[in-house]
């Protein structure tokens, strides 16, 4: 005589139906998402965890830890003048490129959001540079635009208007920042313009109608209507820009690396860590892992500060 209760026999099929979802949608979702999750785990999270683990060991020219050194790699980096200079380069680059890219992207988004003719063409024209490789763009900027020679495009324009040739990527001065910032703007502005346009499209039109009825002009509408409504999108854009500044590598490495070395304060953290952990003769992966952990902590601190400021602004606005 069977002793299985009816409630237990019906629970299992019900649980399986919940797992499968309607017409097996949950299973299909898992099937399509699984390759991305596996790739993210294998190529992103596992290397990050292993790099943090190696930072506590002496790992020279090997991925296997050899000798536990504790915080010695962190002490070495924090006492290294070149690493501290690279952190200053990162802070200066972020302080320059983040607000400048945001302002240019917002200006383009506002301009193209009001365009009625050829809107798709203009959006595509500004977005296409984001598909260009940073390495290729860096070489074009270095060899064609800012090479410092007389036949360079920028120097040719300067001479045409009565100026003199400038050694953009070397010599005395900080002219290389013009090349670096202009390259980063050309590559990134279109992408963040699209994100801000998406945020503008979420603002209700009746909000602008109410502002127009109250007699608000263009600048007052931008200040009191558009920018507050874009606070969430702006916070996401600024955070992505900060992470992008932290990841600056290709333009500095390909444009400024010469036989005489890098100009002063033109070696961001990733370039410095690459030279230490990969480009050097010792290939000290333990020090490279420690530098990665330090930079990640810096980004987390900036992100928490930005989140706190955003939430504070939301509370004060409400």
- Which of the two residues, 117 and 24, has the higher pLDDT score? 117
- Residue 317: what pLDDT? 56
Which two three-digit tokens encode residue 166?
């400038």
Question: Which ranges constitute the DSSP H helices of 171-284?
Answer: 176-201, 205-213, 218-221, 227-229, 231-246, 250-256, 269-274
DSSP track, 149-183: STTSHHHHHHHHTT-----TTSSSSSTHHHHHHHH
What's the rounded mean pLDDT across residues 246-275? 74
How much is the pLDDT for 185?
A: 92
What lies within 8 Å, CB to CB, of 219 at 6+ separation is: none
Q: Measured between alpha carbons, how far is residue 57 from residues 66, 266, 290 in Å?
A: 7, 29, 10
This prediction has a pTM of 0.78
Mean pLDDT of 287-315: 79
- Which of 248-257, 276-285, 287-296 is predicted least confidently? 276-285
The segment with the largest mean pLDDT, out of 107-111, 201-205, 217-221, 255-259, is 107-111
Given pLDDT bands bounded at 50, 70 and 90, which one contains residue 77?
Answer: confident
8 found inside a domain = no
Say if 293 falls within a structural domain.
Answer: yes
User: What's the CATH code of the domain at 267?
Assistant: 1.10.3720.10
The confidence band for 28, taking pLDDT boundaries of 50, 70 and 90, is confident
The residue range of the domain holding 246 is: 66-317
pLDDT band at 20 (very low <50, low <70, confident <90, very high): low
Distance CA 231, CA 228 (A): 5
Residue 40 belongs to a domain:
no
Please list, residue by residue across 29-61, b when 16 or more beta carbons sit within 10 angstroms of its beta carbon and e when fewer do: eeeeeeeeeeeeeeeeeeeeeebeebbbbbbbe
Query: Once rounded to an integer, what is the mean pLDDT over residues 247-253?
Result: 83
- Identify whether 14 is part of a domain: no
> Would you state the structure tokens that stand for residue 215, as one six-digit string?
């007699």
Task: Taking the CA atoms of 174, 179, 184 and 185 in sequence, report the sign of the dihedral they define.
Answer: positive
Q: What is the pLDDT of residue 67?
A: 83
Q: How far apart are CA 287 and CA 65, in angstroms?
A: 12
**Whole-number pLDDT of residue 259:** 46
Q: Domain count for the chain, please give it.
A: 1
* Strand partners for 41: none
pLDDT digits (tens, 9 = 90+) for 106-156: 999 988 887 778 778 888 888 899 888 888 888 888 888 887 666 778 888
Judge whether 34 lies within some domain: no
Element (H, E) at 68: strand 67-68
| Within a domain: 1 | no
Q: Chain-centre distance of CA 64, in angstroms? A: 30
As to burial, measured by CB atoms within 10 angstroms (0-12 exposed, 13-18 middle, 19+ buried), residue 108 is: buried
More confident residue, 210 or 12: 210
Residue 1 pLDDT:
46
């Amino acid at each position: 005589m069977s002793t299985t209760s009816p409630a237990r026999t019906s629970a299992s099929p019900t649980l399986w139906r919940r797992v499968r979802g309607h017409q097996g949608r949950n299973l299909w979702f898992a099937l399509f998402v699984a390759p991305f999750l596996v790739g993210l785990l294998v190529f992103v999270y596992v290397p990050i965890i292993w790099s943090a683990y190696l930072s506590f060991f002496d790992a020279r020219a090997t991925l296997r830890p050899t000798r536990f050194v504790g915080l010695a790699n962190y002490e070495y980096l924090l006492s290294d003048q070149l690493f501290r200079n690279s952190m200053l380069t990162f802070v200066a680059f972020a302080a320059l490129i983040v607000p400048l890219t945001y302002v240019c992207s917002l200006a383009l988004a506002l301009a193209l959001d009001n365009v009625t003719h050829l809107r798709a063409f203009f959006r595509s024209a500004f977005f296409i540079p984001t598909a260009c490789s940073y390495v290729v763009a860096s070489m074009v900027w270095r060899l064609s635009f800012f090479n410092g020679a007389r036949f360079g495009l920028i120097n040719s324009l300067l001479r045409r208007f009565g100026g003199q040739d400038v050694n953009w990527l070397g010599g005395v001065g900080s002219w290389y920042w013009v090349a670096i910032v202009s390259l980063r703007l050309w590559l990134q502005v279109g992408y963040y313009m699209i994100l801000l346009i998406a945020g503008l499209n979420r603002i209700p039109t009746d909000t602008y109608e109410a502002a127009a009825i109250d007699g608000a002009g263009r600048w007052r509408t931008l200040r009191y209507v558009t920018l507050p409504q874009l606070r969430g999108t702006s916070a996401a854009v600024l955070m992505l820009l900060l992470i992008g500044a932290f990841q600056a590598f290709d333009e500095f490495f390909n444009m400024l690396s010469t036989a005489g070395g890098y100009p002063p304060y033109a070696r961001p953290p990733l370039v410095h860590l690459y030279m230490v952990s990969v480009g050097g003769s010792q290939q000290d992966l333990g020090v490279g892992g420690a530098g990665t952990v330090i930079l990640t902590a810096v980004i987390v601190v900036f992100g928490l500060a930005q989140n706190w400021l955003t939430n504070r602004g939301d509370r004060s606005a409400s």
